[in-house]
Structures are given as C-alpha cells and as structure tokens.
Amino acid sequence: MSKRPDFGLVIVGDEILSGKRSDKHMPKVIELLAARGLQLAWAEYVGDSPERITATLQRAFAGGDVVFSCGGIGATPDDHTRQCAARALGVDLALHPQAEVLIRERMQDLAREQGVPYEPARPDNVHRLNMGVFPAGASIIRNPYNKIPGFSVGDVHFVPGFPVMAWPMIESVLDDRYAHLFRRGDYVERSVIVFGAMESNLTPLMEQVERAHAGIKVFSLPSVDHPQYGRHIDLGVKGAPAAAAAAYADLLAGLRQLGVELGPELVRES
C-alpha cells in the first residue's frame, strides 16, 4: 500500500437500530486497533435493507480503506450481506471450496456431539452450506469458535454479528494482513485541560500549530459537566512522539500568550 489506509467499520442489523441490542463491536474494534497503534477513522450503521447495505458496501469497496463489516452473513431470510457484497462488486455468488469443507466439518462435529449420524443430504444440512456462498474471488476468514468462516474481498472483511466469533476473527485479520501498519510505541497524544476559554478563540492557535507541524493533528474536546474538571476543553496534539512534543510545546506557548487558565497535562501513548 503506497498510502497508509484508514480503518472503517460497518455494523449491519435492524436489531441495533431498533434498540433491541446494543452495539458492542465499535468499542471492541477501537480497542483492538489501539492495541496496535491504530485508530478507527469511521463507522457506519445500516439496517437489514439490501439496497442500503449494497450502497454502503459499494462505498467501502471503492474507498481504499481497511473495512470490517459485522453481521448479516448467515443464511436466514434477514441475512443479506453476502448477496449485497456480490451485488456491490458486480460478481456472482459461489460456494467457496474451503468454506464448504469447514462447514461440513462443523456439521459432522454437531452430529457427533448429538450422538446422531451425519446426513449430508438432509435438507437443513444442505441449507447450511449457504453460509459458505461468497462473492466470486473472496478468501475465507477462519472462525475459531465454530469453524463457519467469514470472508474477505480485498481490504473489506466480513465477519458474523456475534462478538464471540467476530472479535477473534477481526484480530486475526489485523495480525495476519496489516502488521506492517502497526505503530506500537510511536504514537502519542499530549493535551492540557483549559479552563474558561471558548473554542472559537482557540481555533486560530490550533490552525497555526497544524500548519507549522506536518503530520500532527490538533484536537479539541469540550466538556460542560465533567465530574472532575467541570466546564473545560481538553486541547492537545497527536502524532509521532518527537513531532507531537514539538507541536505541544508550541501549543502551550500559544495558550500562555492568550492568558487562559491551564489545568493538568495528559499523555496517552500507543
């Protein structure tokens, strides 16, 4: 990859948007990325509408980001993600040979656990193979929980909606395919608590610091009812340690010139 990609997340399912279930994927993906010195750039929620899922995936495939899509890859009538991915790519669906092997292994495991013979031609077993019908050209993502795989097409990766399956699958994709992007220990956030200031008054300083320090991002996180600091702004910079230190020094100097009240300084490393 010539350009460091952003990381995105798509979460599929009416149950999230209706409030029947709370999303746990985004906090976990943020955690998994942060442990590797990475950040989530964007996230999108979409219900079980084939048209909306297809449009969302078209953007994901065209965007050049690394994207994880959680949910909707099963074989029930409300699971549309596999079909929508194929439609977004303009390719056919086909039973993936490795997926077929793994799904058949899972069916045999279940038969042994239940003490019944494995009947590959039984209608429900034949139907289960639909979980391995992926867009042409896809590769599989192994599922350590129950062997039913997810799939990848380029840098867009599809996993189940169940956290117990999805999270180890996402972690394995990160470690197997994107270790070259990890930046553990070379990314830092430095900030200071600012009291009694308005963001509009601080904006020129923020813009000045970003212009003067390439690769640094300046951030401003206002709070009106923080339990410890009350009304304040968490103002800081983030980037590589040396560059962040220089930018932060300029930020502090600018704040002192403005005469604002400063509180504790914070450092977050990854």
Per the listing, tokens 């039984």 go with: 122
Q: What is the pLDDT of residues 10-20, one digit of tens each?
A: 999 999 999 99
Q: What angle do CA 51, 127, 150 make, to 5 degrees?
A: 60
Q: Which of 160, 138, 148 is nearest to 72 (CA)?
A: 160
Asked if pLDDT for residue 163 goes beyond 80, the answer is yes
Kindly state whether residues 17 and 120 are assigned to the same domain.
yes
Kindly state whether residues 118 and 200 are assigned to the same domain.
no
Residue 252 · residue 224 · CB < 8 Å = no
Calculate what percentage of the chain has a pLDDT beyond 90: 89
- Domain interval for residue 220: 188-269
Average pLDDT value for residue range 199-219: 94
* Count: domains in the chain: 2
Residue 165 · residue 71 · CB < 8 Å = no
- Tokens coding 261: 């009240």
Q: What is the pLDDT of residues 80-90, one digit of tens each?
A: 999 999 999 99
Look at residues 163, 181, 199 and tell me which one is the last residue of a structural domain.
181
Kindly state whether residues 159 and 252 are assigned to the same domain.
no
Residue 32 · residue 170 · CB < 8 Å = yes
Calculate what percentage of the chain has a pLDDT beyond 70: 98
Kindly state whether residues 41 and 89 are assigned to the same domain.
yes
